[in-house]
């Protein structure tokens, strides 16, 4: 039982591969938990790259690049017909 409590508090990079399943079981997958995780991720990114004294183009460019990659993934099944191939 002490091991399970300690497992809940370890970060993902410190979890051993064999403990991954039990670590995932300790996470909060309720809608409130997922919103909390998204909020924490957003705050981490924002405070590291944008909310700094001399933020540059990189902070927002990474977001736009991720949006482009995501749009490509979403439209791939559509775009693959536009390639110059003999057999699509």
Partner 1 sequence: MNLSFFDQFSSPSLLGIPLILIAMVFPALLLPSPGNRWINNRLSTLQLWFINLITKQLMTPLDKKGHKWALILTSLMMFLLLTNLLGLLPYTFTPTTQLSMNLALAFPLWLATLLTGLRNQPSVSLGHLLPEGTPTLLIPALILIETTSLLIRPLALGVRLTANLTAGHLLIQLISTATTTLMTTMPVVSLLTLAVLLLLTILEVAVAMIQAYVFVLLLSLYLQENI
Please report whether residue 79 would count as binding partner 1 according to CB under 8 A: yes
76: Cβ contacts below 8 Å, ≥ 6 apart: none
Q: Name the one range near partner 1 by CB under 8 A: 4-12, 13-21, 28-36, 59-67.
A: 59-67
Please report whether residue 71 would count as binding partner 1 according to CB under 8 A: yes
For partner 1, the closer CB: 11 or 84: 84
Binding site for partner 1 (CB under 8 A): 46, 50-55, 59-60, 63-64, 67-68, 71-72, 74-75, 78-79, 81-82, 84
């Amino acid at each position: 039982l002490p091991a399970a409590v300690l497992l809940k508090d370890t970060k993902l990079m410190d979890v051993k591969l064999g403990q991954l399943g039990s670590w995932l079981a300790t996470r909060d997958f309720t809608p409130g938990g997922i919103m909390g995780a998204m909020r924490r991720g957003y705050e981490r990114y924002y405070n590291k790259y944008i909310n700094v004294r001399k933020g540059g183009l990189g902070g927002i460019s990474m977001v736009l690049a991720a949006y482009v990659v995501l749009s490509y993934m979403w439209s791939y099944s559509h775009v693959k017909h536009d390639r110059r191939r003999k057999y699509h």
